[in-house]
Amino acid sequence: MSSYRWLLMDADNTLFDFNAAEEYAITRTLVHYGLSPAAGVKACYKGANAAVWAAFEKGLISQEALRVKRFELFLEAQKIEGDPKAWNNFYMDAMASCSTLLPGAESLCRNLSRRYILCLTTNGSTLSQRRRLEASPLARFFEDRVFISEEMGCHKPERAYFDKVLSALEVNPRQRTQALVIGDSLSSDILGAFNARLDSVWLRWPSSKPGPIKATYEVENLAQLSQLLNADRLVPIRP
Long-range CB pairs of 106-112 (<8 Å, 24+ gap) are 106/136, 106/137, 106/138, 108/15, 108/222, 108/225, 108/226, 109/15, 109/138, 109/141, 110/141, 111/226, 111/230, 112/7, 112/141, 112/226, 112/229, 112/230
| DSSP codes, 104-160 | THHHHHHHHTTTSEEEEEE-S-HHHHHHHHHHSTTHHHHTT-EEEHHHHT--TT-HH
The Cα–Cα gap between 25 and 45 comes to 11
| DSSP codes, 26-62 | HHHHHHHTT----HHHHHHHHHHHHHHHHHHHTTSS-
Residue 10 designated active-site: yes
The Cα–Cα gap between 15 and 221 comes to 11
* Active-site residue identified among 10, 184, 189, 199: 10
Instruction: Identify the bridge partners of residue 218 per DSSP, sorted by sequence position.
Output: 202
Distance of alpha carbon 63 from the chain centroid: 14
> How many angstroms separate the Cα of 34 from the Cα of each of 67, 68, 200, 236?
21, 19, 44, 50
Which residues are marked as active site?
Answer: 10
